[in-house]
Structure 1
């Protein structure tokens, strides 16, 4: 999983940059929000964050606290 954290909120994608997953805490299982065909593939963390902003999942001024891409 590739992931980007915004405080305690974690958004992730599969190793190909497809799909959208989330988890509330830093420990625990991921929950799928959107499938591969619903959330386009991202090659970079910057593109993934931009897509999260366009989808309204994070605010436009949000900054990642941790990136594992």
Structure 2
């Protein structure tokens, strides 16, 4: 899940796994796999950074486990 802000400054948490594409028009538009579009304040680069941070956080616990720990 990533936290983003709508144009009216309200916070929204979305499932990063459902992001299909991010468009950088004058406004940033996130399209979900469901077809829903969300216009956000963050730039497309910021959205990508948040998704990368989310995915790294998801795999970090797995990477931290050593084969000898299993």
Fold equivalence (TM over 0.5): no
Could you state the TM-score of these two structures normalised by the residue count of structure 2? 0.31
Which of structures 1 and 2 has the bigger CA Rg?
2
Q: Indicate the structure whose relative CO is greater, using CA pairs within 8 Å and at least 6 residues apart.
A: 1
TM-score (norm. length: structure 1)? 0.31
